[in-house]
Amino acid sequence: MDFANFLTNYEEAVSMILFGIGFSNLLMQKNLIKKIVGMNIMDTSVYLFLALKGYIAGHKAPIVVDGVCSAEVYINPIPSGLVLTGIVVSVSVTALMLALTIRLYNRYHTLDLDEISTQLKKEGL
């Protein structure tokens, strides 16, 4: 592998590293809040990746102000639209996860998922 490729595409590399961090946090943390934080890091890294893919150096945000309609001036607007949609999705999922966490915390007074499982086994339901 060419190390130079990493340097020229260092933003993408960063977003992939962030994805890895978020993914492993969501998978391996025991604490529910840390899991949710991991999930947000994971989603945000994908948005970073998308935003990078839509960005063209030197071009402006795709809002027509002074009557210039040429595509040469603006960045690609579609990834920005995708990021917005993705943010809506991840916000709603985060809200749902937090609500579930609150219910579990009120019931078992812990955020540790393994601890909750042990308590459930003790209840024997």
Residues that bind another protein (CB under 8 A): 19, 22-23, 26-27, 32, 35, 39, 42-43, 46, 49-50, 53, 78-79, 82, 85-86, 89, 92-93, 96-97, 100-101, 103-104, 107-108, 113, 116-117, 119-120, 123, 125
Closest distance to another protein from the beta carbon of 58 (Å): 19
- State the nearest-atom distance from the C-beta of 90 to another protein, in Å: 9
Radius of gyration from C-alpha coordinates of the chain: 21
Q: Shortest Cβ distance from residue 27 to another protein (Å)?
A: 6
- Distance from the Cα of residue 56 to its chain's centroid: 22
Which amino acid, residue 55?
Y
Q: By C-beta, is 3 or 66 nearer to another protein?
A: 3
Buried b / exposed e over 86-112, threshold 16 CB at 10 Å, is: beeebeeeeeebeeebeeeeeebebbe
Between 75 and 79, name the residue whose CB sits nearer to another protein: 79
Cβ contacts of 30 within 8 Å, gap of 6 or more: 112, 113, 114, 115
